[in-house]
Structure 1
Amino acid sequence: MPVNLRPEIAALPPYRQGRAADASAFKLSSNENPGPTHPAILAAIGESNLNRYPDAAATVLRARLAERTGVSIDEVHAASGSVSILAQLFQAAAGPGDEIVYAWRSFEAYPLLAIVAGATSVQVPNLPGGHHDLDAMAAAITDRTRVVIVCSPNNPTSTIVTTAQFTAFMAKVPPTVLVILDEAYLEFVTDPHAVSGLVELQNHPNLVVLRTFSKAFGLAGLRVGWAVGASYILDAARSAMIPLSLTEPAQRAALAALDVEADLLSGVDELVERRTRVFEGLTAAGWTVPEPHGNFVWFPAGAETSAVAAVLEDDGIIGRVFAGEGVRISIGEEDSVERLLHSAARVVATLPLAVENARLG
C-alpha cells in the first residue's frame, strides 16, 4: 500500500530546468550569464573551508548588502537563490484558504510555490505585448489575498513596470497585503522610467524586494539570492528557511562578486548591447516582440510555438519553450547572435502565421 501524500503535491509537475544543448548548439534556454566566472570569484571559492558549516545567518554578506542599500542588517535576508526566498515568504504569509495574486504568464515557479504553501493562485493575464495588467491585478485582490507579486523585468516576456505604474498600483493595494517586487534582472534595465524597488521601499512598508547574484553577477551555479524589506517580514521568512542552506562557498563568491562589481557590470553592458542588436535584428526581420529589458527576448508565437522552436532548434538555438504561448531566448555568446537572427528570419519565411501571432499578441 503506497504512502499517503498530499494529492495536490503528488500531482504537481516538478520545476523544469532549461533544456541542455549539444556542443554544436547554443543553450539559450536558461537565463544564465554566458561570461566566464571572474578569477576573483574562483579564488574566493577556493579558500572555502568545506569541513565547516556555513554561517547560517550569512552575517558578513548581509552586512555588506545592508551597507550598500542603506538599511539595517535585519532588513536584509540572504538565501540559496531568490526563488527560495519566494518560497519562504509564501509560507510565512499564506496558507490554505489564502490567495496569492500574480501576472501570467510570469515566472513558472510562482504557481508551484503557491501550491506547496497550500495557498490558491490567482493568475491575472498579461496585457497584449506581455506587460502586467496592474489595474486587473489590483482588482483581483480580495480579503483572502495575502501576497501579490510584481515581476519587473517580467520573466519570460522581458517587459518592465514603470515607477508611475507601480506607484498607482501600490495606492490600490491594502497595507496588510505583502507585495513582492521580483527584480532578478534589474541590472539589465536601462530604461530610466523603470521602477526601482530599493527606492520604492521608502514609500511602502508592505513591500519586499527580491534580487539575485545568479544573473548579472554570474553565480547561477551557486544560488545566492537576497531580499530587502521590513525586518519582521524577513524574520518570518528566515523562520521558514532550511537551516544552513546558503553554503559557505556561495557566501564567499557573493562577497567576491561585490568586490569586482564594476568588472561584472561591464559584462552586463556588453549583454545589453547584444540584446539591442538582437531586438533590432528581429524587428528588421519582421517580428513583433516586446522590447526586452532582461537578458532575454520573448517570441510570442501562440499556437505555432512548437513549430517555431523546431526551426530554432534545427539551427542550433535551444530556447525555453512554453507550449501554446511562446519561446524565451536568452542573450548568449556573441557567436549566437548571427545564428539566432538567421533562424528568426527563416521562421518569418516559413511560418508566417507565427509572426502574425506575435504581431497580435
Structure 2
Amino acid sequence: MSTEAPDSSPAIPRPALRRLPRYAAGKPPVPVAGVASFKLSSNENPLPPLPEVLAAISDLESINRYPDPTAAPLRAVLGEFLGVPADDIVTGTGGLGAFNQILAAFAGANDEAAPDEVIYPWRSFEAYPISVGLTGAVSVQVPLAADGRHDLPAMAAAITERTKVIVLCTPNNPTGPVLHTAEVVEFLDQVPPRIVVVIDEAYTEFSTDPEMVRGLDMYRKYPNVVLLRTFSKAYGLAGLRIGYSISHPGITESLRIAASPFTASAVAQEAAIASIELNEKIIERVQSLIFERERVLDGLRALGWPVPDAQGNFFWLNFGEDSADFAAVAEAAGLSVRTFAGEGVRVSIGEAAANTSLLEICAGYTKTPLAS
C-alpha cells in the first residue's frame, strides 16, 4: 500500500471566480461579560415566527418526499393574496435564489459576442456583483446620488446594446431610501422593452413613504418588469430560504427553465402559506419594528447625526474611514453591526433593548457620521 501523500495541488477554478468579491454575512455579537448581546448586522426580523406558523410546520410529516416542484399550493395562495395569476409567480431559495434565476435566464457570457451587461446601483445589495459575475456577465455599477438614493438618469445613460438586465433596489440596501413612482415611470419609459428590469422589494413591507413605487403596479404596466420579493424579512422566515418573483408569462417560462428543481422546501412552503393566512398579525409585528425604527432615527437626529431616509428595517451611518472604529465600539458594548470598510455602517432594527443600547452607544460616541 502506497504511503505517498496525495497530490496537494488545488483544482483550478474559473478565472471569473477569482475576480469576485466575497459575500460577508453579518457576524453574531461577541459575548461581553455583564452585558446583553444583540445581533444588528443581518437585517433579520428579531421576532420569531408566529406560533401558528411554527405549529403548521411542526406537524409536517411528508419531508421524506420531495416538495411540489413548482410550489403550486403556495403560488395559488400568494396569487390570490396579491391579485396576480399564480402562473406569474416563480419561487426561489430566498429572494437571492429568485434573483439568480433571473440572471441565469437572461444574462451571462455569450458564445461569440462580448458578455452581457447588468446595470445596478452601487452601493447596494452586496450579492449583486457576485451573482452577476458567476453568470459571466459584466457588472455596470452606477454610483448612488448624494442622498443614498438611485441616480436613475445615470442608470438610464449607462444602457448599451449589451445591457440585458437592470436592477432597482427599493428600499435600497444598505442606505435605506425608496424609489418613487414618478421617477421610476420616467425611467422605465426610457428602457428598451428587450431589457429585463428587476425591482427588488425585499424590504417593501417596512416602507411608510406614500410616494414609494409599488412594484406590482410596474409589473402590471410594463411587460419587461420582474418584481422580486422574499419571506425572509417582514415574515421572519430567513432561515427557511423562500422568496419569489412575479413577471409576465414571456419571462416566467424562461425562469422555470433556469430554476433548479425543488428550490422551495416543503417546510418553507407550508410556513409561507401559514404566514400569508396570518397577514394581519404579520402587519402588527411590522408596525412594531417601524415604531422602533422611528424611535431610533429620532434619537440619532436629536444628536445632530445625519441619517439617510430609512424605509427598511435598517439604517445607514456614513462614517467613512471611521466605520471600523464605530463598529468596534458597538462590539465592545455587545452589539454587532455591519461594517462596509471605508464607507459606512448598516445597523438593523432589533429588539427594543438592543435599539436602546445602540442609542446609548451613539450618545457617547465622539465622532459624527458624514452627510451622505
Sort the TM-score into its range (normalised by shorter chain): over 0.9
Query: Is residue 117–residue 163 contact of structure 2 (8 Å, CA) maintained in 1?
Result: yes
Specify the alignment match of 2:260 in structure 1: 242
Q: How does 1:188-199 map to 2 (within 5 A)?
A: 188-199=206-217
Match of 2:87 in 1: 74
1:52 to 65, 76, 82: 65
Map of 2:50 onto structure 1: 38
Deviation at 1:314, TM superposition (A): 2.0
Q: Match of 2:221, SS?
A: coil
Give me the whole-angstrom Cα distance separating, in 1, the residues matched to 2:247 and 2:46.
31
Q: 1:276 aligns with which of 283, 290, 294?
A: 294
Deviation per CA, 1:254-308, whole angstroms, max 9, x where unpaired?
0010111111110000000110011110001121010210000100111111112
Question: 1:309 matched to which residue of 2?
Answer: 327
Give the structure 2 partner of residue 335 of structure 1.
353
Q: How far, CA to CA, are the matches of 1:137 and 1:324 in structure 2?
A: 24
Distance 2:27 2:313 in 1: 17
The secondary structure found in structure 1 opposite 2:220 is coil
Alpha-carbon distance between aligned partners in 2 of 1:285 and 1:61, rounded to the nearest angstrom: 46
Structure 2 CA distance for aligned equivalents of residues 70 and 280 of structure 1: 36
Structure 1: gaps spanning 5 or more residues = none
Structure 2 residue 170 is matched with structure 1 residue 162: no
Which residue in 1 is equivalent to 2:96? 83
Matches within 5 A, 1:320-331: 320-331=338-349
Task: Tell me by how many angstroms 1:15 deviates.
Answer: 2.0
RMSD between aligned residues: 1.2
Distance 1:28 1:72, change over 3 A: same
- Measured after TM superposition, the shift of residue 11 of structure 1 is 4.4
Taking structure 1 as the reference length, the TM-score comes to 0.95
- Classify the secondary structure of the residue corresponding to 1:175: coil
Distance 1:114 1:307 in 2: 31
> How do 1:121-200 and structure 2 match up within 5 A?
121-200=139-218
- Deviation digits for residues 79-129 of structure 1 (CA, Å, limit 9, x no counterpart): 110101111101111112100000000000000000001000000000112
For residues 211-259 of structure 1, the C-alpha deviation after alignment (integer angstroms, 9 at most, x for no partner) is 1110000101101101111122122122121211210000000001011
- Separation of aligned partners in 2, 1:286 and 1:336: 21
Deviations 1:176-221 (A, max 9, x none): 1000000000000111100000111121110000111100001011
Q: Secondary structure at the match of 2:73?
A: helix
Amino acid at match of 1:280: D
Aligned pairs, number: 354
Q: How far 1:12 sits from its partner (Å)?
A: 3.0
Question: How far did residue 66 of structure 1 move?
Answer: 1.4
Q: Is the 8 A contact 1:159 1:291 kept in 2?
A: yes
1:20 correspondence with 2:28:
yes
Please report the TM-score for the alignment, with normalisation by the length of structure 2. Answer: 0.93
Instruction: Name the structure 2 match of 1:253.
Output: 271
Stretches of structure 2 lacking an aligned partner (at least 5 in a row): 1-8, 110-114
Matched, 1:211 2:240: no
Between the aligned partners of 1:12 and 1:228, the Cα distance in structure 2 is: 28
* DSSP 3-state at the match of 2:339: strand
8 Å CA contact 1:76, 1:231 repeated in 2: no
Query: Percent of aligned pairs with the same residue?
Result: 46
- Give the letter for the 1:249 counterpart: V
